[in-house]
Homo-oligomer: A and B are copies of this chain.
Amino acid sequence: MTQHQSDQHERFERGLRALSAIDGDAGHKVIDSLADIAPDFARYVIEFPFGDIYNRPGLDLRAREIATIAALTAMGNAAPQLKVHIEAGLNVGLSRDEVTEIIMQMAVYAGFPAALNGLFAAKETFAARTAADQEHAA
């Protein structure tokens, strides 16, 4: 293994740990779905957002997920990624009520349709999570 390959590997590993901690299974499914069309892009997703950005010390993960949920709700054109980050928000300590507050607030900045579609994404994500929890408990 060359020096270059070894450092790529280190940054990738750091990103992969962040991806697992934040996005959990949903994140890994996204990565897996890229394997046959753009494996390099799967690597970039792990390296830049997770290896670089989410690992930065200046802002905790709770604050980072507030920012991401707000942005994806406001943009309104990335429903699958919004659902992944609603999951991520819950994973890093946001309550369901806090997620709902963030999305509702977006009515002010991006309009009521963006907030409504965000709330419906949250409703679906919460329901799937409740169903998964009940299955594990059974």
Q: Which residues of B contact A109 (CB under 8 A)?
A: 68, 71-72, 75, 78, 81, 111-113
The A interface, classified by DSSP as helix, strand, loop or mixed, is helix
With A3-B7, A10-B4, A66-B70 known as contacts, the answer to whether A41 contacts B80 (CB < 8 A) is no
Provide the bound-state CA to CA distance between A30 and B48, in Å.
20
* Cross-chain contact B71 with A34 (CB below 8 angstroms): no
A25 at the interface (CB under 8 A from B): no
Q: Which of B10, B107, B120 is the one whose CB lies under 8 Å from A33?
A: B120
Provide the bound-state CA to CA distance between A116 and B40, in Å.
12
A59 at the interface (CB under 8 A from B): yes
Q: Which residues of B contact A49 (CB under 8 A)?
A: 108, 112
With A4-B10, A75-B75, A113-B72 known as contacts, the answer to whether A52 contacts B44 (CB < 8 A) is yes
- Interface set of A (CB-CB < 8 Å, partner B): 3-4, 6-8, 10, 30, 33-34, 36-38, 40-41, 44-45, 48-49, 52-53, 56, 58-59, 63-64, 66-78, 80-81, 97-98, 100-117, 119-120, 122-123, 126
